[in-house]
Structure 1
């Protein structure tokens, strides 16, 4: 039966428009104006996007299972677990949006942009979900109920909106002025793409570093009493290291930049970026659950009460 299904054609970099090009990837491209059916069929053949799709689609079901476990085993009416539910929901959404974006991004140039707009929005929601859980469970004791704590989630919300807008703008072809009046379309296009990638990196990096200010202070700076050292600390170190590795892979385009064409199908940076991002999210979830359990009594006594309003920040 499978032999009767005609799989979509796989192309080289010279056969697709520039908007579909990836640094260091020479072959394995899908037809840039595929039908939705061809996009779905392509996930069952080896292209340079296949593992990008599966490395996020399969983990979606793991995080969905974790979400259902919490809903079944925990008292979901207990507001103390609501931030965890928000984080788990965001952890389900961002890999699903990513896998869908990679699947359907070759329907057209317009569809490619729209697909990744949704991807960026899901990543921003994940960033906000992280901030909500950090505000509820992660803050060092010294900072609980401080002015920074009070404005932490509203600022994280603003960051999510701004980062989504900046990431989307970074895909739209940024104009450059050639002050020497030399007409070089290819050069201008390359510079535009480069600036777009820089803006996209900034749009992801800034919310991450802001969200992690209380965690970084807690595990790297804070000493003495009220610094909240417990079994979760080592897991925080682990997911922080994985997050930094993930960012490095996204920005560097290694190893394919060193050997163009050698990692077209397996082992290029975006695949590794997906894998380490998911592993990092798993360790992040483990650390959050540890802090949530170990600090429950102290937080319920000393921190502001968790309500629907300050969980999703609808005031």
Structure 2
């Protein structure tokens, strides 16, 4: 056998210098391991002397038998070397390097030098224009990209509930409109137009409100403008409600008294409500003057718009059996009054200042009750449209006013008012920066 003096027969099993590879395979041969290519020494925890089993098997007298015994010794539990532990350590280290790389590969790439966006800040980091009473955190930073604010639709901030309450309600109205389209001939039935307009007006105010609460944090200028659009949507909804109540819910006795002034006055009060709300937002006076500008026109508009329903409730003899729509009308009145109370009182955040950053704000409760009011109103109007046709058809055969024209006039005048106030805001902010 060539290749120098071999070690003991078991030495190549445990890693000590031993016979060359060819010798191990055939019991002899010509191929020797080059110098410096011997197997590494065993770990410190491995055996440093021949296993006892080999000593017992040494009488077998052949190197090959010794090799077999040495293999058995290698896998004997009492003499198990430390290589599995070392292997597990290496694998864990490899995975610890690979997993962060895998996470980074599946994350949205960020521009070089830009950190992850911060979606909320304290109110000390935004102008006082954006402050909510008794809410000290959950504000979104200003002057971000439009994409950033659309991404906040799925983030937690102090406007998230306001966005989702009206957004989900707007989607529900689209489904309700799809049901109406299957059963109502909006094109061929002249008495179906007010039903379509109330659905359109409801969807308008809900979608504009959701958009305003989602995007108003872009800047001071856009804060004003998006809420101006919100007030336009409220004005459109006010006139749509007045039209639906006047057309389907009114009793003949009340119709005879108000038919000449009801719709023109409803259009004027809707515009006045929009103007007062926009002006209150513009002057930023939280005292009596600001609340008077916003709430008094809205209260007058609601009093006129709901008067056909209230008169009908008062004169109805047995509403539970003969008039199923009247229950929904009662619900819409109760829901609206609750919504108005939460809108004006700033509760419960007034009772728990600093604890209603994400949930529990009075404006959020106002949104919920207003949505319930709108849904109850639409169900009542739909029932009146189907069941009260013998009553409302004779009342509206001849129109003293074109309600479609009044609807467009309300929309146009409200949009124009919002635009004019927007120009005043631009001038105000320009003077502020000079």
Which TM bucket (shorter chain)? Answer: 0.7 to 0.9
Which residue of structure 2 aligns with residue 261 of structure 1? 354
1:4 to 1:59, Cα distance in 2 relative to 1, 3 A: farther
1:206 deviates by 2.1
Q: Distance in 2 between matches of 1:196 and 1:107?
A: 24
Instruction: Choose from 361, 366, 380 the match for 1:273.
Output: 366
Query: Does 1:56 find its partner at 2:56?
Result: no
Q: Distance in 2 between matches of 1:198 and 1:109?
A: 24
Q: Deviations over 1:128-183 (max 9, x none)?
A: 00011111101123123x24122211111111111111110011126xxxxxxxxx
- Give unpaired runs (5+ residues) of structure 2: 1-105, 111-115, 410-434
Q: Distance in 1 between matches of 2:296 and 2:151?
A: 34
Greater CA deviation, 46-55 or 70-79?
Answer: 70-79
Instruction: Choose from 339, 357, 360 the match for 1:246.
Output: 339
Alpha carbons 1:154, 1:313 under 8 Å: kept: no
Query: Does 1:22 find its partner at 2:116?
Result: no
Greater CA deviation, 117-126 or 59-68?
Answer: 59-68
1:306 deviates by 7.5
Which residue of structure 2 aligns with residue 65 of structure 1? 175
1:229 to 1:201, Cα distance in 2 relative to 1, 3 A: farther
Q: Deviations over 1:71-91 (max 9, x none)?
A: 332111201111000000011
Query: Does 1:291 find its partner at 2:401?
Result: no
Alpha carbons 1:7, 1:41 under 8 Å: kept: no
Aligned-pair RMSD on alpha carbons? 2.3
1:67 deviates by 1.9
Give the 3-state SS of the residue equivalent to 1:261 in structure 2: coil
Alpha carbons 2:170, 2:206 under 8 Å: kept: yes
Greater relative contact order (CA < 8 Å, ≥ 6 in sequence)? 1
Instruction: Choose from 270, 273, 277 the match for 1:167.
Output: 277
Q: Deviations over 1:228-250 (max 9, x none)?
A: 96111121111100000000011
Greater CA deviation, 124-133 or 68-77?
Answer: 68-77
Greater CA deviation, 71-80 or 269-278?
Answer: 71-80
Alpha carbons 1:153, 1:313 under 8 Å: kept: no
Query: Does 1:119 find its partner at 2:230?
Result: yes
> Which consecutive aligned stretches of 4+ in structure 1 deviate over 4 angstroms post-superposition?
1-5
Alpha carbons 1:156, 1:210 under 8 Å: kept: yes
Greater CA deviation, 86-95 or 230-239?
Answer: 230-239
Give the 3-state SS of the residue equivalent to 2:396 in structure 1: coil
Which residue of structure 2 aligns with residue 91 of structure 1? 202
Greater CA deviation, 117-126 or 285-294?
Answer: 285-294
Which residue of structure 2 aligns with residue 310 of structure 1? 402
Q: Distance in 2 between matches of 1:48 and 1:224?
A: 47
Which residue of structure 1 aligns with residue 122 of structure 2? 12
Which residue of structure 1 aligns with residue 241 of structure 2? 130
1:229 to 1:209, Cα distance in 2 relative to 1, 3 A: farther
Greater CA deviation, 123-132 or 26-35?
Answer: 26-35
1:310 deviates by 3.2
Instruction: Choose from 308, 311, 316 the match for 1:214.
Output: 308
Q: Deviations over 1:37-75 (max 9, x none)?
A: 111111111000111111111211111222233233211
Which residue of structure 2 aligns with residue 184 of structure 1? none
1:306 to 1:285, Cα distance in 2 relative to 1, 3 A: farther
Which residue of structure 1 aligns with residue 264 of structure 2? 154
Q: Distance in 2 between matches of 1:56 and 1:153?
A: 27
Alpha carbons 1:254, 1:268 under 8 Å: kept: yes
Alpha carbons 1:163, 1:204 under 8 Å: kept: yes
1:81 to 1:266, Cα distance in 2 relative to 1, 3 A: same
1:126 deviates by 0.4
Instruction: Choose from 192, 204, 227 the match for 1:81.
Output: 192
Give the 3-state SS of the residue equivalent to 2:121 in structure 1: strand
Greater CA deviation, 203-212 or 39-48?
Answer: 203-212
Query: Does 1:237 find its partner at 2:348?
Result: no
1:101 to 1:131, Cα distance in 2 relative to 1, 3 A: same
